[in-house]
């Protein structure tokens, strides 16, 4: 019978046989609330055994009670003792140990995701979106680091829900890391079974770029939010293409990981924003960054200031410290007109702390979550119903409301308000309000292939970022389309807008060939020694990569919005073409079982090998989504694929749908029914 000594001897990559000091927790660091824990005694024992798998037997006796205490008080075993004692942040790549550039680059990315200035609950390894983790626990973090130090350019590291399964031989042109997070077998693919598996240490919520290690701070979403707002203004408020949101009011909620981008975006779009946030620490973070310009807990003051700035046609973002529902009810009661309205509370996990009930302060919400989850759920449902009423009244009075990809409308429906469903019964026909993807981002951006391309200058040097900004700008033709002009202006002003939080990173919406050309240009600059190595990637929230009927694929109307083939193909195709890191997750921004989403990371080391990979993989990564949208008969995607087939004749070829006329379909059915 093999014993633990034999097992220890069988591994060269493992945690040390030394008990780390217990960490000192800083008071002012946000902590995750207790997570759902419904394990029976057998499962609790399993959870303990599972966590102890990571550590040598000599430490088991000491750690077992500690891990059990974490499980019972926090709902998860985080292994706090294994948390590094020094500050975690994305250091310049040369400061990491490693046998290949990718191994070092991924360490930069992981550490950036856990930087206290970047992460939402850094002690619980949560980067953003209330529950989005880099990996499940600190033992995994330590082990991942060790594997990445050993990884060579002829191996691939398999990572399953944060767990490094091992290093296996592959090719120089294979991915160096394959990541999956939270994938479940169909019949268990629901939040409850997933939470059980996670509490037992067998699954992880990677959100999108948290578990795919490509998070770049809230900047990642500022550009998308800016695009959404400015295009919502054009579409709904009649703002011309060359004008901005001056004089218009946008109201929303959330100043968290992603939602914190909203005040910055509204200022870049030159509008006036009021953003409700219940957690003062989040307001403080955005205030310190300069992303919010004023704070108040007085609703009259908030609206008076907004009015003043709207009259002056000047921009301001105001954080309202309080509940979004109080703010909206004030607007309803005082007949205040709101132009654009949304919400970005973490409604993908409303019962896990993502949505704060009315009448509770933020600390009362945390306390109630810890003591009485049923009561908490009851209050969430009541508040969601009130939230819906206020939104409905405002919409009836002329406000444009859009769901902002946080599953708000699904949460309202789940709370018992079936009136929010289009057919009043179930969600199969969608909701009575539009989602931003259906109305704006889908038809105006994703259908052409425009999506959130991003990069990180791994040297950590601001001058590298400046050089890449200029290089990217030189690739864009602002005369081609309105979208190109917006992107050109975005990148031209990016440095001035002080968007960097954490590593030297940038986001820039681009279409398939724009992304390819920028990536090739950067690789050439690395080759010429003008800049250090660069990691490119994207948000999973994109044209391709993500199947999510309540968000990314909500403007797919051919019935295929309930399928996940595209996300899996995107992942597999990126792996086959040699992207450095490929990731596939369950859930993302809308919650477990509501989406399958994927992303990639590609390290530009200046080599010709990388040029080759970029030529083939970058167009695929985007065009898989455009092709699928085209097949669903989305008009701009059809235009884009027709053009692509011409340009790539003899290399790539996309199947394009013949469009049957509605008249013919109706006539055929009428005739059938008559006979």
Q: Which residues bind ligand NAD (CB under 6 A)?
A: 120, 128-130, 221, 224, 253-259, 276-279, 282, 323-324, 344-348, 354-356, 404-406, 541, 589
Name which of 130 and 486 has its Cβ closer to ligand NAD: 130
Contacts of 5 (CB under 8 A, 6+ apart): none
Query: Which residues are paired to 334 by β-bridges?
Result: none
Nearer to ligand NAD, 189 or 284 (CB): 284
For residue 63, the minimal CB distance to ligand NAD (Å) is 30
Output 299 or 457, the one with its CB closest to ligand NAD.
Answer: 299
Rounded Cα–Cα distance for residues 80 and 67 (Å): 9
Gap between the Cα atoms of 197 and 274, Å rounded: 39
Candidates 565, 560, 569; CA nearest to 621 is 569
- Supply the minimum distance, in Å, between the C-beta of residue 257 and ligand NAD: 3
**Of 254 and 451, which CB lies nearer to ligand NAD in the complex structure?**
254
Nearest residue (CB) to ligand NAD, 82 versus 351 = 351
Please, what is the minimum distance in Å from the beta carbon of residue 263 to ligand NAD?
Answer: 12
Q: How far is the CB of 209 from ligand NAD (least distance, A)?
A: 9
Residue nearest to ligand NAD (CB): 256
Closest distance to ligand NAD from the beta carbon of 506 (Å): 17
Cβ atoms of 198 and 162 closer than 8 Å: no
Q: How many helices (H) and strands (E) does the chain have?
A: 23, 17
Q: In this complex, which beta carbon is closest to ligand NAD, that of residue 367 or of residue 652?
A: 367
Question: Least distance in Å: CB of 567 to ligand NAD?
Answer: 16
Give the shortest CB-442-to-ligand NAD separation in angstroms: 12
User: Which secondary structure element, helix H or strand E, spans residue 378, and what is its range?
Assistant: helix 373-396
Q: Which of 401, 292, 281, 405 is nearest to 347 (CA)?
A: 405
d(CA 218, CA 652): 35
The minimum distance between CB 405 and ligand NAD, in angstroms, equals 3
Pairing of strands 581-586, 177-181: parallel
User: For residues 362 and 615, which CB has a smaller minimum distance to ligand NAD in the complex?
Assistant: 362
Residue (457 or 501) nearer to ligand NAD, CB: 501
Q: Which is nearer to ligand NAD, 311 or 363 (CB)?
A: 363
Strand spans (E) along 512-574: 534-538, 546-547
Of the pair 217, 573, the CB lying nearest ligand NAD is at: 217
| Pairing assessment for the beta strands 272-277 and 249-253 based on DSSP bridges | parallel
Burial profile 373-390: b = 16 or more Cβ within 10 angstroms, e = fewer = beebbebbbbbbbbbbbb
Minimum Å gap between C-beta 528 and ligand NAD is 35
The total of other beta-carbon atoms located within 10 Å of residue 642's CB is 13
CA atoms within 13 Å, Cβ hemisphere of 57: 7
The Cβ of residue 195 has, within 10 Å, a number of other Cβ atoms equal to 23
SS3 355: coil
Minimum CB–partner distance for residue 667 and ligand NAD (Å)? 41
- Report in angstroms how near the CB of residue 127 gets to ligand NAD at its nearest: 9
CB of 483 to ligand NAD, least distance (A): 17
Residues 557 and 632: their CA atoms lie apart, in Å, by 6
Straight-line distance from the first to the last Cα atom of the chain, in angstroms, rounded to the nearest whole number: 75
Give the nearer residue to ligand NAD in terms of CB position, either 221 or 269. Answer: 221
Of 403 and 517, CB closest to ligand NAD: 403
Tell me whether residue 128 or residue 455 sits nearer to ligand NAD (CB atom): 128
Question: Which residue, chain included where needed, has tokens 């026909």?
Answer: 429
Residue 455: closest CA among 438, 481, 475, 439: 475
Residue that is written with structure tokens 């490929």 in the block? 582
The stretches of 10-99 forming alpha helices (DSSP H) are 41-52, 60-74
Least Å from the CB of residue 332 to ligand NAD = 16
**Which parts of 487-548 are beta strand (E)?**
505-510, 534-538, 546-547
DSSP string, 399-430: -EE-B-SS-HHHHHHHTT-GGGBTTSS-STT-
């Amino acid at each position: 019978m093999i014993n633990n000594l034999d097992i220890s001897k069988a591994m060269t990559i493992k945690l040390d046989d030394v008990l780390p000091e217990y960490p000192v927790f800083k008071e002012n660091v946000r902590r995750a609330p207790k997570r759902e824990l419904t394990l029976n005694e057998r499962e609790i024992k399993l959870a303990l055994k599972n966590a102890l798998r990571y550590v040598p037997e000599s430490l088991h006796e000491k750690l077992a009670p500690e891990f059990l205490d974490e499980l019972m008080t926090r709902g998860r075993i985080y292994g706090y003792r294994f948390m590094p004692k020094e500050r975690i942040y994305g250091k310049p790549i040369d400061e990491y140990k490693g046998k290949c550039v990718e191994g070092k680059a991924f360490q930069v990315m992981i550490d950036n995701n856990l930087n206290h200035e970047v992460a939402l609950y850094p002690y619980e390894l949560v980067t953003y979106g209330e529950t989005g983790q880099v990996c499940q626990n600190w033992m995994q973090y330590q082990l991942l680091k060790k594997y990445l130090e050993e990884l060579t350019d002829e191996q691939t590291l398999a990572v399953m829900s944060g767990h490094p399964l091992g290093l296996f031989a592959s090719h120089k042109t294979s991915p160096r890391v394959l990541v999956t997070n939270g994938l479940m077998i169909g019949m268990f693919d629901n939040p409850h079974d997933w939470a059980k598996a996670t509490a037992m240490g067998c699954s992880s919520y990677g959100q999108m770029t948290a578990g795919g290690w490509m998070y770049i701070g809230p900047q990642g979403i500022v550009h998308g939010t800016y695009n959404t707002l400015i295009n919502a203004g054009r579409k709904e408020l009649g703002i011309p293409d060359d004008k901005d949101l001056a004089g218009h009011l946008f109201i929303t909620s959330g100043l968290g990981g992603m939602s914190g981008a909203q005040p910055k975006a509204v200022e870049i779009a030159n509008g006036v924003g009021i953003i409700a946030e219940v957690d003062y620490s989040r307001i403080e973070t955005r205030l310190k960054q300069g992303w919010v310009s004023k704070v108040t807990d007085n609703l009259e003051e908030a609206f008076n200031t907004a009015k003043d700035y709207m009259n002056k046609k000047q921009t301001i973002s105001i954080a309202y410290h309080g509940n979004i529902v109080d703010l909206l009810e004030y607007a309803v009661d005082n007949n205040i007109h709101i132009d654009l309205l949304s919400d970005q509370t973490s409604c993908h996990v409303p019962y896990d702390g993502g949505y704060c009930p009315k009448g509770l302060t933020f600390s009362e919400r945390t306390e109630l979550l810890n003591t009485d989850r049923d009561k908490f759920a009851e209050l969430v449902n009541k508040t969601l119903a009130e939230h819906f009423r206020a939104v409905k009244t405002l919409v009836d009075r002329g406000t444009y409301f859009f769901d902002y990809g946080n599953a708000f409308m699904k949460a309202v429906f789940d709370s018992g308000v079936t009136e929010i469903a289009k057919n009043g019964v179930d969600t199969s026909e969608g909701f009575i309000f539009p989602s931003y993807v259906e109305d704006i981002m889908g038809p105006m951006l994703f259908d052409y292939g425009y999506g959130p391309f991003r990069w990180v200058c791994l040297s950590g040097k601001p001058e590298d970022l400046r050089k890449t900004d200029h290089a990217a700008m030189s690739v864009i033709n602002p005369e081609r389309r309105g979208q190109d002009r917006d992107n050109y202006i975005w990148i031209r002003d990016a440095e001035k807008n002080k968007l960097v939080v954490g590593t030297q990173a940038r986001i820039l919406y681009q279409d398939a060939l724009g992304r390819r050309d920028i990536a090739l240009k950067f690789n050439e600059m690395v080759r010429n020694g003008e800049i250090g190595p660069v990691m490119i990637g994207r948000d999973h929230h994109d044209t391709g990569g993500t199947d999510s009927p309540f968000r990314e694929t909500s403007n797919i109307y051919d019935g295929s919005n309930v399928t996940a083939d595209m996300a899996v193909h995107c992942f597999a195709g990126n792996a086959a073409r040699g992207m450095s890191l490929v990731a596939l997750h369950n859930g993302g921004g809308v919650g477990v079982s509501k989406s399958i989403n994927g992303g990639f990371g590609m390290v530009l080391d200046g080599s010709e090998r990388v040029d080759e990979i970029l030529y083939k993989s970058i167009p695929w990564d985007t065009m898989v989504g455009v092709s699928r949208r085209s097949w669903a008969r989305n008009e701009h995607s059809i235009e884009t694929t027709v053009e692509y087939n011409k340009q790539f004749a003899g290399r790539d070829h996309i199947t394009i749908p013949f469009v049957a006329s509605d008249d013919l379909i109706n006539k055929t059915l009428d005739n059938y029914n008559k006979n």
